[in-house]
Amino acid sequence: MILIIDGYNLLHAGNIFQKKLTKETLINMTIRYKSIKKHIVFLVFDGGGSFYSQEIQKNGITILFSGYGQTADDAIINLVKMKKNAPEKVLISTDRALAEKAHNYNIISIDSEIFYSILEQSICTKNPIDKQFKKTHENIIRFTSDSNAEIDQLMQEGMIPKKDVREPVFSSLKSQHKTMSHEEKKIAEILKKL
């Protein structure tokens, strides 16, 4: 699957969930996600150090800066056109106009906020430490008798099994219609693969 990600759009979505998410942190999260999921990832940002667009390969992902001569949206549409014959392509953006343009090339768009949740969940649940502990909640140990409300809260949260963030989207698609449209089925299939 090819993911074309509207970088600053996803960064903004990430800042809704996590304060002061930096571009570098988002790039590192995306690299980690790519190493787990093995998708082809293009992370597109506005600007860069040149008038022309620049591509940087970093740990398996392609970071594309649009340059001063075009917007990230223009660079994304150019990328969509170049990849139009690739089998599975997904645009990650909350920008409706961009999603409509991508739809003209039969590309499904996923909302940045939904994808950020999936990204965060994927990189957190695929932590190498998780493989060592089958039942994480049984291995949480407190090493101090001091009372600290923040630590107590974190320990309690660590004992609660995490829900799949995609489930509300699936439920929403199913509840709107008894049977899903072809487009909704495609979205559901893509969400399962993300």
Q: What is the CATH number of the domain that holds 23?
A: 3.40.50
Is 18 inside a domain boundary? yes
Query: Is residue 58 a part of any domain in this protein?
Result: yes
- State residue 133's pLDDT score: 40
Decide if 142 is inside a domain: no
Find the range with the poorest average confidence among 14-18, 78-82, 117-121, 165-169: 165-169
Tell me which long-range contacts 118-125 makes (C-beta under 8 A, separation of at least 24). Answer: 118/165, 118/166, 118/191, 118/194, 119/29, 119/30, 119/33, 120/14, 120/17, 120/18, 120/29, 121/162, 121/164, 121/165, 122/33, 122/36, 122/37, 122/194, 123/29, 123/32, 123/33, 123/36, 124/162, 125/162
Q: Which domain does 21 fall in, by range?
A: 2-116
Provide the pLDDT for residue 64: 94
Q: Is residue 107 part of a domain?
A: yes
Q: Between 166 and 116, where is the model more confident?
A: 116
Give the model's pLDDT for residue 160. 46
Binning pLDDT at 50, 70 and 90, where does residue 78 land?
Answer: very high
Return the pLDDT at 136. 42
Let me know if residue 74 belongs to a domain. yes
Q: Provide the pLDDT for residue 134.
A: 39
Would you say residue 164 has pLDDT above 60? Answer: no
- Domain count of the chain? 1
Q: What is the pLDDT of residue 138?
A: 45
Q: What's the pLDDT score for residue 110?
A: 92
